[in-house]
Structure 1
C-alpha cells in the first residue's frame, strides 16, 4: 500500500470502443477498479428505486502491458491509456494533471514488482466461491498415471520404462522429476548422454500412440558445434526410441546400414522433401531381410527452427543432428525436417504489429486496420505451426513412425508442436480433463519458461510519459526500447529517427561480428540469431550463470508462445467443432489467467522452481477456477461418439484429426473484436466523386471496375463518414458493439 499515492479518484471518465462512462477509480494492492456511477434506464422516471446497479471493471496489475500518460492540452484532458495483455484497451480521463500523474505513478509502482513472484496476487488470493475452495487442481496431474494411461510399463507396451533419475532435479533442473525412456536404456547411459543435449534435456517420452505404440519424444538441440561433436550414447538413445515399437530381439541396426557410406536420404531440409525423404529403396539386394512390423517405419527428427538458424547455432557450440551419425538409428534411415518456425523475438514482433492494428479500440469503434493485420504475419506463423503439427500427426497415424521433436532448448516451439499433435492424435486431450493434463505435462512440467515469456513482474520501460507534443523519450530516439544504452543519434542523416535507428542497428551488428571474429579465446561469445533461451549470453561462462537474477523481467524474452498454442487449438476447434468438449471461452479465459497472476500454476519456469518456492502449498491452482465452473466451458456441439473405440483404427473420419493450415483465421474473440471485424470482407476500396456525381471504384487487382451510384447514395456515404469523424472528435456516444459474455477485465470469483 506504500506505493499508492491516491487510493480513490472521483469524476473519472473511461473510454472504451469510443464509449465514455463516468465513475470512480479505485486503486487497491492488486487491482485497478473502475466503478461506474449509477445511471437510470432511458425513458424511466427518475425515482430513487430505479437506478441501475453500478458496473465494475477490474484490472489486475500484471494484466497491464503498457501505460501512457498524457498531460492535459487544448484538445484533450489529462489521461492514461492502458494496453492490457488480454487485448483490452482503456483510457482514463482525469480532471487535473496531478490526479493523472498520481494514478500513473501508483500503477507503475504496483505493476513493476520488486522482489520476485512471491509479491504477486497469487500468494494473497483466497477464493470466495465454495466450489473453488473444495477443489485442489495441484493433484489433478499425476505423471505416473498419465504414462500408465498411454501404456508405459504395461503388457501393451514393454518398450518403455519410468526412470526417477531426475527425482531431485540434479540430472536436468528444467525437466520433470519423472521421465519415461526406452526400457533398453540404462540410467548410466542417460548420465553420459545428457552432456550432449542443451541443458541436459535428453530425448524423453511425451506421448505413446495406442494404435501402434509409436511415440512423440522431445528434447533440446544437440551440442554439435563447429567441430561436429557427436555422442554415441545419444545416438543409442535415439535408436532405442525408434525401435521401441518393434518386437524384442529385433536388430536396431540392419546389416545394410552398417557400412560407412552415408545414406543419401539421411536428412531432409524442409517439409516439401518429407514425402520422398527416407523412402525405402527398391533395390532387392539392399532391402532388410525378414521384414517385420515397424521395419519400414519412416522415423523422423523434427527441428522446428529455420534451417539457417539451426546451422548458425553451431557457432556457439550447439546446432542440429548430423544425420550421418543418426542414419543407423532405424531402418530405413531416419530423416530430419526443418519446419522454419521463427524464434521468440520474431513472434513478439508479430504480436506487436497486431496490437498496432487494433490499439485504437479505446477511442474508436472502427474495425482494426486490415492491412496492418496482414503485415503482422501472425496467421502465417500459426499456419506454419499447424503445418508442422500435420507432419507429426501424419508420421505417427499414417506412416506408423516415431517422431523426435526439438527446437533450441526444447521449451517453446517444442511444447507447441508436441501439444498440438497430441490434441490431434488422442481424443482424450480434446476433453477438459485431458487438456488440463496436456498443459500440465507438456508446458508446466516439461519446463516452459512462463515467468520469462509472460513478463509478470513488469518493466519500467513499459510505462511512458508523453510530452506536451504527444511524444515520448522512446519515440524521440533518446532511449532505445530494446537496449539499456541510449540509442545512437546521427546528425545530418536523412530520415531522422528511423535512419538513426537503422544506423545504430548496423553498427551493433558490426560490433557483434567483429567481437566474434576477434575473440582472443577463439570462441564465439555473442548470442546466436535464433534461440528460445532467455539467457543465452549466460552460456559464456559459469560465472554468468551464477549471477543470473531470476526476479527481473527481461523485455527481450517476453513472447506469446503459450498464446500461439491456444490459438492453434482454437483453429482445430473451428475446423472440427464437434470433436472438442471445451469451448472457445475456455481457451480465452485460460489466456486471461495466464497473465492475471491470481493463481500459482504459471508463475515459475519449471518444477524445480515450484518445489523450492512451495507454490503448491502457498497458492491456488488455476484448475480450481475451471473445475469449479465446468459447465461454463462445455461445447454444446460436442459429440463424443465421433471418437468412440470403434473408430480407433479408422484414419479418415476416425479418432485422429488433421489440421488444415489453409483454413487458418483470426481468433477474433481473443483480440477483443468481433469475427466480421477480423475475418470479414476486405476494406472498401478508395472512392472518388466524379463531376457526374457518380462514384468510381477501382478494383483491388488493378482491373478497371466502376460501380455507378446515385448522387443521393454518394452523399449519404460521405455524410456517414463525416458523422463518424465528428462523433469521435466531440466524444459523442457511438454505436456499441455486441455486449461481451463477460465483463471487461473482471475475475469471476
Structure 2
C-alpha cells in the first residue's frame, strides 16, 4: 500500500485553525504520509505538526445551509494527547477529502507503516535505549548470588509468548520445570520475579492458574512458589479479582490456587475487576472524566458531581490501596507476595509497578522509572498496541482498549503530589510517557510484547529512552526540589488526599503557563541557593587551610618568624 493512495488532498489553503489558548489562525493545510501540517500564512515560522497516529477521532460537521457543497463546514480532531482542534474548511468537497484522508491515515493498524520506522533523529544517539535495561543488567546482583539465575528457555517465545527471551528464575528450578509450570498458567505466564526487597522478601507476578472445575494441580508450579519461600516462610497471593469473579472463571477453566496444594500461601482478593477484565468500564470512566473536563460551561456543583460519577479517582484509589497492601506485606512483614489477576497483563503489572515506586527509591529517579516501565510493562508483556490503539474520545466499541498504563502514571502522580521532594523527575516526564505510549516518533511502545518488537525489528527505530536521557532533554525533566530519599514512602489513600492530575487532564482547558513559569523560578532560586552553598563550602575550606598554615608558623622571642612547612 502506498500512502499516496490514502491522501485525496495533499494541500489546502485558507483553513481556519482553532486550538487552545490561541486566536483563530488562517493556515495552509498539508497532509503527508505521517503528519498533518498547519502553517500560518501571515506569521512566518508558526507551524503545527500533528502525527496522524495522535488523532483519536475525526468528527465532521457541515454548515447548516441548503447549498452545503459550497459552504463547507468543520472537522473536529480529538487527539490522544487530550487536545481538541477545529479546522474550518470553506468547501464541502475539500472537507470530505480531508476527512477521508485523516480518517484512514489515523487508523493504520500495521505498526511497520508507522512513523517510528521513518523517523531519523537530527542529533547523535549517545546511548542505545533499546539495550540499556536488559534483564542481565537490571538483575546482575541477584544473578551473581546463589539464589537466582538467568534462563533463555523462552528464547523463541514458545514457553510464554508475552514474556521476554531472557528470564530470571530461582537457581533451584530447572528449565523443564518452568516449561511444565507455564502450561498450568493462562498464556504461559508462570510466576515471574518482579522485585526483591532489601529484607529478602520477593515480589512475583503471573496469570491465573488453569485449575478448572476439576481442581487440576501442577507440582511444577508449586515447586517454583515453594522455592521462593523455602520450608518455613509464609507468602501471600494477592488476586486482583473478587472471589466471585475468580469463581466464575473457574467454570471456564481458570480459577485460583487450591489452598490444599499451596499450604504456605494465604490468598487475599482485591476487587479490581472493573480494570482487569477488559470490560471497557475503565475506558468509559476516562471518557466521562474528559467529557466533564472539556465542558467549560459546567457549574462548580455539577463539575464535582460529574468528576465523582466518572469514578476515575475511585479507580486510582483502589489501585493505590491494593499496592499499599502488597508493599506492607513485603516491607513490614517481610513476606513474599505473588500478584495475579486473570491474564496478568494489566492490573497485575499496575500493582507490581506502583509497589516498587513506593518501596524502591531507585524507581523514583529518571532512569529508575524508565527501567521499571521497561521491566514490568514492556518486557512484562502489556499489550500497548492493542490497549492504546484508541483513547478516551473514540466511539469504537472494543473491550481490549483500556488505559491501564494511564492509571499507573496517575498513581505515580499521586505519590509525587504527596512526596514532591522524593522524585528526581517532574510530572512533565509522566505526561511525556503518557503521550509517547499512544503515539510517537520512537519505537519503544510499538507492538504488544517483546516478541512483536523483535518481529518488527524495532531496534532499527530510535528509542524513547535514548531521547529522554540526552543531557539537554534530561535537564528539563529534573525536579528542582528533589532530595534523595531512600525510605519507603507511604501514601494516604483517603479520598481527600487524592487530586485530579491538572497538568495532564486540564492542560488544554486551563493555561499552564503560570505554573511552568513558577517552576522555572523555583528552579532558579534553588540553583542560586546551591551555588551560594557551594561558595560558602569553598570559603570554609579555604579558611580551614589558612588556619592549618597559621598553626604551622612559629614566632621566636626576638620576633623572627619560622615556618615549619618550609623547615619540613
Fold equivalence (TM over 0.5): yes
Q: Secondary structure at the match of 2:75?
A: strand
Cα separation, partners in 2 of 1:317 and 1:298, compared to 1, 3 Å: same
Determine the structure 2 residue equivalent to 1:315.
251
Cα separation, partners in 2 of 1:304 and 1:72, compared to 1, 3 Å: same
Determine the structure 2 residue equivalent to 1:96.
91
Aligned with residue 121 of structure 1, among 90, 115, 122: 115
Cα separation, partners in 2 of 1:102 and 1:741, compared to 1, 3 Å: farther
Determine the structure 2 residue equivalent to 1:2.
5
Q: Secondary structure at the match of 1:404?
A: strand
Cα separation, partners in 2 of 1:213 and 1:183, compared to 1, 3 Å: same
Contact 1:452 1:558 survives alignment (8 Å) = yes
Contact 1:218 1:410 survives alignment (8 Å) = yes
Q: Higher mean Cα deviation, 77-86 or 569-578?
A: 77-86
Determine the structure 1 residue equivalent to 2:565.
none
1:418 and 2:352 matched: yes
Determine the structure 2 residue equivalent to 1:440.
374
Q: Secondary structure at the match of 1:316?
A: coil
Determine the structure 2 residue equivalent to 1:657.
489
Q: How far, CA to CA, are the matches of 1:632 and 1:140 in structure 2?
A: 21
1:310 CA drift (Å): 1.5
1:17 CA drift (Å): 4.2
Q: Higher mean Cα deviation, 557-566 or 16-25?
A: 16-25
1:108 CA drift (Å): 0.8
Contact 1:455 1:558 survives alignment (8 Å) = yes
Q: How far, CA to CA, are the matches of 2:514 and 2:75 in structure 1?
A: 24
1:188 CA drift (Å): 2.2
Contact 2:20 2:508 survives alignment (8 Å) = no
1:118 CA drift (Å): 0.4
Determine the structure 1 residue equivalent to 2:306.
372
Determine the structure 1 residue equivalent to 2:529.
none
Determine the structure 2 residue equivalent to 1:265.
none
Determine the structure 1 residue equivalent to 2:560.
none
Cα separation, partners in 2 of 1:737 and 1:326, compared to 1, 3 Å: closer
1:207 CA drift (Å): 0.6
Determine the structure 1 residue equivalent to 2:50.
59
Determine the structure 1 residue equivalent to 2:165.
177
Q: Secondary structure at the match of 1:557?
A: coil
Q: How far, CA to CA, are the matches of 1:54 and 1:300 in structure 2?
A: 59
1:153 CA drift (Å): 3.0
Determine the structure 2 residue equivalent to 1:587.
430
Determine the structure 1 residue equivalent to 2:270.
339
1:82 CA drift (Å): 1.6
Determine the structure 1 residue equivalent to 2:185.
197
Q: How far, CA to CA, are the matches of 2:26 and 2:505 in structure 1?
A: 26
Contact 1:347 1:559 survives alignment (8 Å) = yes
Determine the structure 1 residue equivalent to 2:532.
none
Aligned with residue 134 of structure 1, among 109, 123, 126: 126
1:399 CA drift (Å): 0.3
Q: How far, CA to CA, are the matches of 1:78 and 1:318 in structure 2?
A: 52
CA shift digits 1:515-548 (9 cap, x unpaired): xxxxxxxxxxxxxxxxxxxxxxxxxxxxxxxxxx
CA shift digits 1:261-285 (9 cap, x unpaired): xxxxxxxxxxxxxxxxxxxxxxxxx
Cα separation, partners in 2 of 1:369 and 1:29, compared to 1, 3 Å: farther
1:217 and 2:153 matched: no
Aligned with residue 165 of structure 1, among 150, 153, 167: 153
Q: How far, CA to CA, are the matches of 1:340 and 1:93 in structure 2?
A: 47
1:739 CA drift (Å): 7.0
CA shift digits 1:385-420 (9 cap, x unpaired): 000110111011100010101111111111111111
1:164 CA drift (Å): 2.0
Q: How far, CA to CA, are the matches of 1:674 and 1:204 in structure 2?
A: 40
CA shift digits 1:670-689 (9 cap, x unpaired): 113489x7xxxxxxxxxxxx
TM-score (norm 2): 0.83
Q: How large is the Cα RMSD of the aligned pairs?
A: 2.6
Q: Secondary structure at the match of 2:14?
A: strand
1:167 CA drift (Å): 2.0
Q: How far, CA to CA, are the matches of 1:739 and 1:93 in structure 2?
A: 30
Contact 1:37 1:54 survives alignment (8 Å) = no
1:365 CA drift (Å): 10
CA shift digits 1:26-56 (9 cap, x unpaired): 21211112223435xxxxxxxxxxxxx4432
Q: Secondary structure at the match of 2:339?
A: strand
1:58 CA drift (Å): 2.1
1:346 CA drift (Å): 1.8
1:27 and 2:19 matched: no
1:325 CA drift (Å): 2.0
Determine the structure 2 residue equivalent to 1:610.
453
Aligned with residue 316 of structure 2, among 358, 382, 399: 382
Determine the structure 2 residue equivalent to 1:263.
none
Determine the structure 1 residue equivalent to 2:474.
630
CA shift digits 1:417-462 (9 cap, x unpaired): 1111111111111111111111111111111101110117x9xx95
Aligned with residue 335 of structure 2, among 401, 405, 408: 401
Contact 1:88 1:672 survives alignment (8 Å) = no
1:23 CA drift (Å): 2.2
Contact 2:324 2:490 survives alignment (8 Å) = yes
Determine the structure 2 residue equivalent to 1:523.
none
Q: How far, CA to CA, are the matches of 1:119 and 1:419 in structure 2?
A: 31
Q: Which has the higher helix share?
A: 2
Q: How far, CA to CA, are the matches of 1:196 and 1:178 in structure 2?
A: 20
- In the alignment of these two chains, the number of paired residues is 500
Q: Secondary structure at the match of 2:262?
A: helix
Cα separation, partners in 2 of 1:84 and 1:739, compared to 1, 3 Å: farther
Gaps of 5+ in 2: 518-568
CA shift digits 1:341-364 (9 cap, x unpaired): 122322112112112213456xx7
